[in-house]
Amino acid sequence: MLINHLKIAWRSILKNKLFSFINVVGLSIGLCSALVIGAIIYFDFSFDTFHKDKDRIYRVTSLFKSGNDEFTNRGVPVPLMQTFKDGVSGVEEVAPFMSANFSKVENKSQEVILKNVNDGIFADEGYFQLFDYQWLAGNSQTALSEPAQVVLTKNTAAKYFPKKSPTDVIGSTLVYNDSINVKVSGVVADFEKNTDFKFTDFMSMSSAKMFGEKEIATSDQWNNTSSGDQLFFKVREGVDMAAIRSRLDALAKEHKNTAAWAADDERLFVLQSLPEIHFGGKSGDYPFNNSDHVASKTVLTSLSFVALFLLLLGCANFINLNSAQALTRAKEIGIRKTLGSSKKQVVRQFLGETFILTVLATLLSLLMAPFLLQQFSEFLPSGIDLSVLYSMQGILGIILLVTIVSILSGFYPAFVLSKFRPVAVLKGQFTKGDKGTRLRKTLTVFQFVVAQVFVIATMLVTKQLHFVMNKDMGIKTEAVAYVRLPWNDKSEVKKERLFSQMEKIKGLSKVSWGGNPPTSNNISSTILTYFKEENEMHQETEMLWGDITYLKTYGIPLLAGRERLNDSVKEYIVNERFAKALGFQDPAEVVGTFLKMDSTQIPVVGLMRDFNQRSLRSDIKPLALTGDWGNSNYSSFNAIHFDLGNNTDNWNETIEGVEQAWASVYPDQEIQVEFMDELVEGFYRRERSTVQLLKWATGLAILISCLGLMGLVVYTTERRVKEIGVRKVLGANLAQLNILLCKEFLILVAVAFAVAVPISWYLVQEWIESFAYKTELSWWVFLASGIGMAVIAMAVTGARTYKTANINPIESLRNE
Amino acid sequence: MLLQLNNIFKWVTTGGQRIFLLKDINLEVEEGEFISIMGPSGSGKSTLLNVIGMLDTFDEGEYNFMDESVHSLKEKHRSNLYKQYIGFVFQSYHLLDELTVKENLEMPLIYKKIKGSERKAMVADMLDRFNIVGKKDLFPAQLSGGQQQLVGVARALIASPKLILADEPTGNLNSKQGEEIMELFKQLNEEGVTIIQVTHSEKNAEYGSRIINLLDGRMV
């Protein structure tokens, strides 16, 4: 019976090649996106799931509330670590650690030098108690008990000590940051499964002081939170988490910042469970300082919806075509029933057919999946691949998916077909009263709604992206770039030497000292105090540091007042927003006022035009520019900004000149020239990946929908061949016939458009809310997408209807 | 007695008016009979045949088939009943286009859940008996009309039914092919199979042992 079913299923698939093709292709596109997106989602959910007692491990993070603003920091103040080490009731194990960047690690005996090692941490034995590493050499209890001890992962050990086994490495000396001798006290195996704990050098916590880092035991810096200072702990089994939370609340209250300006601010310690860490903090920050990827649940949810809709589109195709085809299969079913087949057997047979097609589609989609994944590789985390699909779980998942899809798309057609009464079919009384029509129309409308929503969303998101990327930020972004000086080489002499060498490069029209560029992701802010009619006004202000040519280099005009007298005089230039925030009707009036920072009175000497300090998601904020006088320990000028001029031809030459100058001053350091236009583009990386994803989803949705439409058109025109013949005999011309045939489908597309417009308007509206600067949701975008869709639908239907309308009536009317 | 129809009525209602397709049909068929049903187009011949074959229902009356009262049976039982005892032959053959001759013959056996090895033997037997062994792997479209009907008859016979219902079995055939099929029926009847056929042709009707004439749904 089964073989017979499969056989006839296979033959009828071959017989209806076009329909089978449409079915398989439509379904495989849906399945392929489901598989790829499934793999992506699985990847992000597979992080750090292997730790022992992972449900009892938590991280403490900080949440700051200031007015209406909330922001998070994945770190904690260092003294909190000590509080936990001293013991908190309900806590079983504590693992504090601090991120560490080492500028240089040297193995003198084998002459191995590695620069910029950024995956280090300062940790104590608590870390290895909490996280279960496999020890290849050394003792987990004592490896980190003394200063100047380091535990390495196996891969790192192999890098530092080529060709040596883990046990040989123990006791060897490494030189960190040129002068710190450290003994290797242990080697652990790297985590093999997906993890955010990608640390390689575990320096003993007691060495922190040698590296100029904070000391846990003595620090009282409760109001200093660095994202690298991490606190993990494991609770006892069955412990009341509320008790630990209230203890943290009490600690936060006890150590509240007492400075006057912080009176309205609030800080909370928030717990994050281990599996949550991969999804970042509340403001979407990365799991750790050295992480290069943070998973976003919103993104994953949108992805799942995209996959779901593409899959449903494929299924809709299937139902549509198969129930439409029911007529041609009716005779077969009639015969089968007279030969004794029961309803159940017919259902089973058609489900079997669906199953075969689904399996075919799955095989096809597995072949296509790598190509689809490649399309997204640009904005996917590295290390993501499709191997999970071929694992035990993956195969089970695929089987489940195939079964669900088969049932979903096969059940209705099978049900319709099995209901045929043989006598009616065999008598040929069947041609009228086609009950599935409404369902098929609904499904087609559904397909086109999805496709249309994708089209509109893509157009609007692209429009917004184009808008923000091309909007005048208020500063010069073309041909302006900067180099940041090495953070671990503070020599003033070298700095000056590089600057004077760069000034000599002919191609550079302007060269300035400065801190951050005017627009960037790195913002520092401070509180400036202004006395307004005897009242103190505290204004949170973003700070920029630059010399007296900084504004010119970035093309920011002064609107009132003057430039500062020199690079290190205590004077401010503020922006218009700042003046408005202080309550000046005419911003120019701000010039001449005094601002107090800490205890110094500083005059405002100039007013600069507003510009966007960040991506256009954020609004312009009050801002002050000043010179290099703030801190005697280090210079605020840590970058050299320059203008490459208008002559694009010798840019390459000029950049080479900059590189040479750099190499002559900092031969050991690599130069990184940051171009402003690239920086601005980088703000919208996520948006660009959204556009990329949407484009693909749109393309695929249109493709599937059009396949479905084509199938439906073929079916309908075939059924109406006779009617067309009669109409032609009665004198209808080609155009009339085409309109007659197309009308029915265009109405569906129009209905879909009407449904899609409000849905897509709502969705895009939600998305665009995150921008301070929004493009208009213009009506013409909607109209254009609707017309575009209608044209595509016309093209798909037109080809077929034209052919049908052209059939000679003698042919179509001859039989019967 | 093989089957018995008592006061069978069948109607459709159009515009509030009952139009009778079958009107007060009383018929007894003994095993081994060969009955021809005749009448003009629309007189209810095919309807009557379908009612007897349990493919169609009726609105009033009683129908007993081998001491089972068909009118009170559920569909599933009815289908079991005709699956076991009745074979159909159609005017337009109604072979399954996607299956070969051999597979077409096998189909009813599959639905009767007969084992594979047994099925093979029965199919081989039938191919032999109808002299179509050489055609067993061809598809219906590759056969002439006469050959297709031959397969149709073979398929109807393969499950050894007690009754064969044939709806104008020679309607699509030329006279020579038609004659062959009728000879075949005659021979089968002599071997003990009960046959009821619907036909337009007086000549074919003569093959039967009894002729029933229908007019407007009524036996005359």
* Span B125-172, pLDDT tens digits: 999 988 899 999 999 989 998 899 989 999 988 888 899 999 888 888
Q: Measured between beta carbons, which residues in chain B are less than 8 angstroms from residue A345?
A: 111
pLDDT surpasses 90 at A686:
no
Residues of B in contact with A15 (CB under 8 A): 97-98
CA closest to A339 among chain B residues: B108
Instruction: Report pLDDT digits (tens) over A150-174.
Output: 999 999 999 999 988 888 899 999 9
Quick check: A426 and B94 CB within 8 A?
yes
Which residue in B has a C-alpha nearest to residue A15's C-alpha? B98
Q: Closest partner residue to A341 among B50, B94, B111, by Cβ? A: B111
CB neighbour burial string for B125-158, b if at least 16 within 10 angstroms, e if fewer: ebbeebebeebbeebbeebeebbbbbbbbbbbbb
* Closest residue in chain B to residue A332, using alpha carbons only: B96
Contact B79 A342 (CB under 8 A): yes
Question: What is the structure's pLDDT at A432?
Answer: 46
Which contacts qualify for A649-653: CB closer than 8 Å, 24 or more apart? A650/A507, A651/A479, A651/A507, A653/A507
- Chain B nearest C-alpha distance from A6 (Å): 12
CATH number of the domain where residue B190 is located: 3.40.50.300
Phi, psi of B191 (to 5 degrees): -80, -5
The whole-angstrom separation of Cα A619 and Cα A170 is 55
Q: Which residues of A touch B95 (CB under 8 A)?
A: 335
Contacts of A340 in chain B (CB under 8 A): 79, 82-83, 108, 111-112, 159
Average pLDDT, chain A: 85
Lowest pLDDT segment from A405-409, A705-709, A732-736:
A732-736
Q: Please identify among residues 317-346 of chain A the ones whose CB lies closer than 8 Å to any CB of chain B.
A: 331-332, 334-342, 345
Chain B residues with CB inside 8 Å of A341's CB? Answer: 111
Which of A691, A7, A645, A668 is closest to A302 using CA atoms?
A691
Q: Which of A8, A16, A339, A345 to mutate to test the interface with B (most CBs of B within 10 A)?
A: A339
Residue B75 tokens, joined? 């569909």
Q: How far is CA A250 from CA A70, A253, A269, A503, in A?
A: 20, 5, 10, 56
Report which of residues A668 and B149 the model is more confident about.
Answer: B149
What is the total count of domains within chain B? 1
The answer, yes or no, to whether ipTM is higher than 0.85 is no
Of A110 and A262, more confident? A110
- Measured in whole angstroms, how far is the alpha carbon of residue A95 from the centre of its chain? 30
Closest CA of chain A from B112, distance in Å: 7
* Top-confidence residue, A673 or A815: A673
Percentage of chain A with pLDDT > 70? 96
Q: Using CA atoms, how far apart are residues B77 and A435, in angstroms rounded to an integer? A: 28
CB contacts < 8 A (A, B): 59
Q: Which amino acid type is present at position A321?
A: L
Closest Cβ–Cβ partner in A334, A339, A421 for B107: A339
Chain A contact probe: residue of B21, B22, B80, B83 with most A CBs at under 10 A: B83
Task: Tell me which of A18-27, A381-390, A649-658 is least confident.
Answer: A381-390
CB spacing of B112 vs A340 below 8 angstroms: yes
Mean pLDDT to the nearest integer, B76-81: 80
Q: Between chains, do A11 and B98 touch, taking CB under 8 Å as contact?
A: yes
Q: In this predicted model, what pLDDT tens digit does every residue of A712-721 receive, in sequence order?
A: 888 788 777 7
Determine contact, residues A744/A709, Cβ cutoff 8 Å: no
Taking contacts as CB-CB distances below 8 angstroms, the residues of chain B near A338 are: 53, 55, 88, 94
Digit-coded pLDDT (tens) for A442-482: 888 998 999 999 999 999 999 998 888 888 888 988 889 99
Domain ranges of chain A: 1-47+295-435, 55-279, 449-463+682-816, 480-681
Q: What is the pLDDT, as a whole number, of residue A435?
A: 60
B12: chain A residues, CB-CB within 8 Å: none
Residue in A332, A342, A345 nearest the CB of B96: A332
Q: What is the mean pLDDT of residues A800-816?
A: 72
The gap from C-alpha A459 to its chain's centroid, in whole angstroms, comes to: 20
Nearest CA in chain A to B106: A4
Q: Which of A16-20, A249-253, A405-409, A723-727 has the lowest mean pLDDT?
A: A723-727
Within 13 Å of residue A105, how many CA atoms lie on the same side as its CB?
Answer: 24
CA-to-CA distance for B175 and A472, rounded, in angstroms? Answer: 91
Suggest the residue from B95, B98, B163 to mutate for an interface test with chain A (most A CBs closer than 10 A): B98
The model's pLDDT over A429-452, given as tens digits with 9 standing for 90+, comes to 555 445 667 888 888 899 899 999
- Domain span holding position B62: 3-219
Map tokens 């093209």 to a residue.
A795
Contact of B145 with chain A, judged by CB distance below 8 Å, is answered with no
Which residues in A lie closer than 8 A to residue B139 (C-beta atoms)? none
Tell me the pLDDT band of A813, cut-offs 50, 70 and 90: low
Task: Give the distance from residue A26's alpha carbon to the nearest chain B alpha carbon, in angstroms.
Answer: 25
Write the CA distances from A266 to A69, A70, A262, A271, B198, integer angstroms: 11, 10, 8, 16, 96
Q: What's the mean pLDDT in A356-382? A: 86
| pLDDT on residue A428 | 58
DSSP string, A199-250: --EEEEGGGGGGGT---TTT---TT-B-TTEEEEEEEPTT--HHHHHHHHHH
Residue B191 in tokens: 């071997």
B111 in contact with A, Cβ within 8 Å: yes
Asked if A336 and B107 come within 8 Å (Cβ–Cβ), the reply is yes
Task: Taking the CA atoms of B84, B89, B93 and B94 in sequence, report the sign of the dihedral they define.
Answer: negative
Q: What's the pTM value of the predicted model, to 2 decimals? A: 0.76
- A46, A47, A700, A689: which is closest to A380 by C-alpha? A689
Q: Helix or strand or coil: residue B73?
A: coil
CB A65 within 8 Å of CB A268: yes
pLDDT tens, position by position, A559-578: 999 999 888 888 999 999 99
Q: Name the nearest CA neighbour of A701 among A33, A36, A40.
A: A33
The average pLDDT across B80-90 equals 86
Q: Name beta bridge partners: B215.
A: B218
| Residue A816 confidence class, pLDDT cut points 50, 70, 90 | very low
From A313's Cα to the closest Cα of chain B, the distance in A is: 30
Type of residue found at B23:
K
Minimum distance, in Å, between the CA of residue A343 and any CA atom of chain B: 9
**Interchain proximity B82–A335, CB inside 8 Å:** no
**Percentage of chain A modeled with pLDDT above 90:** 24
CA distance A423 to chain B (A): 6
3-state secondary structure A56-109: HEEEEEEEEEECCEEEEECCCEHHHHHHHHCCCCCEEEEEEEEEEEEEEEEECC
Total Cβ atoms within 10 A of residue B81: 16
pLDDT in tens, A133-155: 999 988 888 888 888 999 999 99
Interface test with A, best of B107, B109, B167 (most A CBs within 10 A): B107
Q: How far apart are CA A205 and CA A776, in angstroms?
A: 55
Q: How far is A812 from chain B (nearest CA, A)?
A: 21
Reported as a single tens digit per residue, the pLDDT across A302-352 is: 889 988 998 998 888 888 887 777 667 777 888 888 887 888 888 888 888
